[in-house]
Chain A
Amino acid sequence: MGQDNKKILEEERRWEKDCLERHTSGNAEMDWGMKVKTLYTPNDIEDIDYLEDIGFPGEYPYTRGPHPSMYLGRLWTMRQYSGYGTAEETNKRYKYLLEQGQTGLSVAFDLPTQIGYDSDHPLSQGEVGKVGVAVDSLADLERIFDGLPLDKLSTSMTINAPAAILLAMYLALAEKQGISFERLNGTIQNDILKEYTVRGTYIFPVKQSIRLITDIFEYCSRYVPRWNTINIAGYHMREAGATAVQEIAFTFADAIEYVNAGIKAGLNVDDFAPRISWIFNTHNNFFEEIAKYRAARKLWAKIMKDRFGAKDPKSLMFRFHTQTAGSALTAQQPVNNVVRVAFQTLAAVLGGAQSLASCSYDEALALPKEDSVRLSLRTQQIVAHEIGVTETVDPMGGSFYIECLTKKMEEEIEGYISKIDELGGAAVAIEKGYIQQEIQESAYRHLKEVESGKKVVVGVNRYQLEEPPSKGLLKVDPKVGEIQIKRLKELKTTRDNKKVESALSELKKAAVSKVNLMSSILDAVKTYATLGEICDVLRDVFGEYEGTLTI
């Protein structure tokens, strides 16, 4: 890359001998094995070709960013993950965040909603409204978005197994607001594979789940062209313990499975690949995170071009949402988390994120309070407007360390993907427990390193304090469950139950056949059939996934 590398190499050896030898040299190691050198010089990036490997933003291989002028053209979407309690409370929180300058919404659903149970299901007891908002029917979605015109919003929904149903509810709501589907912007997570490995909100077996996903790809490519139909997730694997390399590798392996499924379902890769989006976890190791995103952009472009023959530049572009690392927050001295979140937010921006959620400092203890969410939003706004990092594209590009790390991570990730290819792809690797085992090994290694003091966690294994319990944490009103159950009862007496029954029986017929399920699901949600009722029909036809157990 540089001029006269031979001379620089000679000088580096001389410097090591004359100068460095008497001083402390580096012995750090990335948790995926790479030794971090004391110093990086042009010698470490000798085999990197600027035009081929790095290039220009907005052009293949997109290492420096998917858009030519990046944040100069448009800042990332500030999108805090939120939702809890009743639909009204969630609506209030959304309006507050938008007033405070947030630019997108990200809906957190409670666990019964994510697993397709209505609030009155026996398994929902104690869980309603806890980790997100409860949605039993279209009526709840109407309350959540009351006074929020959908054509003015970009909404991301963390919903997987029942993604088709929540998407259908959102479409039905748009129709009620008089907004055409083509004008809707947003994302559904719709990534079932990582539910089987680490997140746990699965319902149906693999094959039927993949059918729902490809049905969504097809339907949206025709009717909801601006919708991100899948948000392939590395975030939760990282939270479960994966290293940065495993996070990208396993997520890309899942992605390859989905793209293959789309093609197998008869779709042209360029019809749905441009609507693939991502969510990753921005963790503590600052430079590693920046390099991770640069490596991922380059590698995804290569995978789409070489493996799938995609032609549309949009198919090659890796556009991602990221959230700072929940698992890096400490319950001890929680205010320290403000600093961790700020560094992670900065790393995400230097890594070129399109959308960002910054955790709140009290999240290791409870759902965040209003003023702690505001502080995280302000953190993003300070990074955006005050510290000069958005004024030029990819300011870290060209750093010897960053470029070397980008290349090394790319190679490591590729190695893992080949291993998964050999196993037969992500779905098989999951069935065999391979991905779960790999993540668990990393999680256990991390635990041992923290417990031995090799890894320092401020306030946890060093610089501890005796401290009183945190006060004023957010607590979800336990009455939410009762309120939801009451509303469900009312709904079932006021809606046209004949219409509900006929829509559900049409859905059943469609599920048994091979037709795209989206229209029948949309018809069903419009009758105010509940999420649980719709999922029960599908459970009946599809069966349920049985988890694989690994320790």
Chain B
Amino acid sequence: MNQNKKIRVLVAKPGLDGHDRGAKVIARALRDSGIEVIYTGIRQTPEQIVEASLQEDVDALLLSILSGAHGFLFPRIMELLKEKGLGDILVLGGGIIPEDDIPEMKALGISDVFGPGTLTSTIIDYIKENLSKN
């Protein structure tokens, strides 16, 4: 990607889960590091999230979920991204995702999953590194 262009990221809360402390602090840390961040707010459907990714022309999509509904919502979002031709954006997961479920999430095309206690700098570095590769 063009080095001068600012990275744009969508932080999204799919499903009915209202726990967005993590999503909000990460959004703010990303913003403080110079990344452009759009936050969807809570209770977003997969369709709304994919539409926002398209409209906002983002480089990365960060999905946060703590309710245990990732098993349904993540595959649906990945499927819709592909349908809309957004299969190449960087997708990361976060929240409460049991270790046992992570291989399945990665097989869907989610690059990585970051659990509680992850340093925000780890996430920022990961995004910058992975996007500069493309």
Q: A383 in the interface, Cβ–Cβ < 8 Å? A: no
Contact in complex: A447, B69 (CB < 8 Å) = no
Closest to A84 in B: B68
Query: Roughly how many angstroms separate A130 CA and B98 CA in the complex, as a whole number?
Result: 13
Contact in complex: B99, A551 (CB < 8 Å) = no
Partner of B43, one of A124, A365, A547: A547
Q: A366 in the interface, Cβ–Cβ < 8 Å? A: yes
Query: How many A-B Cβ pairs are below 8 Å?
Result: 102
Interface 0/1 of A271-289, CB less than 8 Å to B: 0000000000000000000
Give chain A interface residues in 448-471, CB to chain B under 8 Å.
451, 457, 460, 469-470
Contact in complex: A115, B16 (CB < 8 Å) = yes
Q: A351 in the interface, Cβ–Cβ < 8 Å? A: no
Partner of A547, one of B28, B31, B42, B98: B42
Q: A483 in the interface, Cβ–Cβ < 8 Å? A: no
Q: Given A111-B67, A115-B16, A126-B73, is A549 in contact with B117 using a C-beta cutoff of 8 Å?
A: no
Q: A270 in the interface, Cβ–Cβ < 8 Å? A: no
Shortest beta-carbon distance from B25 to chain A in Å: 5
Q: A39 in the interface, Cβ–Cβ < 8 Å? A: no
Partner of B18, one of A198, A443, A551: A198
Q: B121 in the interface, Cβ–Cβ < 8 Å? A: yes
Q: Given A111-B17, A443-B24, is A127 in contact with B69 using a C-beta cutoff of 8 Å?
A: yes
Contact in complex: B69, A130 (CB < 8 Å) = yes
Contact in complex: A475, B98 (CB < 8 Å) = yes
Q: A478 in the interface, Cβ–Cβ < 8 Å? A: yes
Contact in complex: B99, A470 (CB < 8 Å) = yes
Give chain B interface residues in 1-31, CB to chain A under 8 Å.
15-21, 24-25, 27-29, 31
Closest to B29 in A: A447
Query: Roughly how many angstroms separate A111 CA and B68 CA in the complex, as a whole number?
Result: 11
Q: A352 in the interface, Cβ–Cβ < 8 Å? A: no
Shortest beta-carbon distance from B34 to chain A in Å: 16
Q: Given A131-B68, A331-B115, A332-B117, is A473 in contact with B98 using a C-beta cutoff of 8 Å?
A: yes
Q: B100 in the interface, Cβ–Cβ < 8 Å? A: yes
Number of B positions contacting A (CB below 8 A): 36
Q: Which residues on A sit within 8 Å (CB–CB) of B73?
A: 126
Q: B86 in the interface, Cβ–Cβ < 8 Å? A: no
Query: Roughly how many angstroms separate A241 CA and B20 CA in the complex, as a whole number?
Result: 11
Give chain A interface residues in 465-487, CB to chain B under 8 Å.
469-470, 473, 475-476, 478
Query: Roughly how many angstroms separate A220 CA and B18 CA in the complex, as a whole number?
Result: 29
Contact in complex: B18, A549 (CB < 8 Å) = no
Shortest beta-carbon distance from B86 to chain A in Å: 21
Contact in complex: A549, B41 (CB < 8 Å) = yes
Query: Roughly how many angstroms separate A195 CA and B27 CA in the complex, as a whole number?
Result: 21
Q: Given A200-B43, A440-B24, is A130 in contact with B18 using a C-beta cutoff of 8 Å?
A: no
Query: Roughly how many angstroms separate A478 CA and B117 CA in the complex, as a whole number?
Result: 27
Query: Roughly how many angstroms separate A470 CA and B115 CA in the complex, as a whole number?
Result: 13
Shortest beta-carbon distance from B70 to chain A in Å: 8
**Can you name 29 A-B residue pairings with CB atoms under 8 Å?**
A111-B17, A112-B16, A117-B16, A123-B45, A125-B69, A126-B69, A126-B72, A126-B73, A127-B67, A130-B68, A131-B67, A131-B68, A200-B16, A200-B17, A200-B43, A201-B16, A331-B115, A331-B116, A364-B116, A443-B21, A443-B25, A447-B29, A451-B121, A473-B98, A476-B68, A547-B43, A549-B41, A551-B27, A551-B37
Residues of B within 8 A of A (CB): 15-21, 24-25, 27-29, 31, 37, 39, 41-43, 45, 67-73, 96, 98-100, 115-117, 119-121
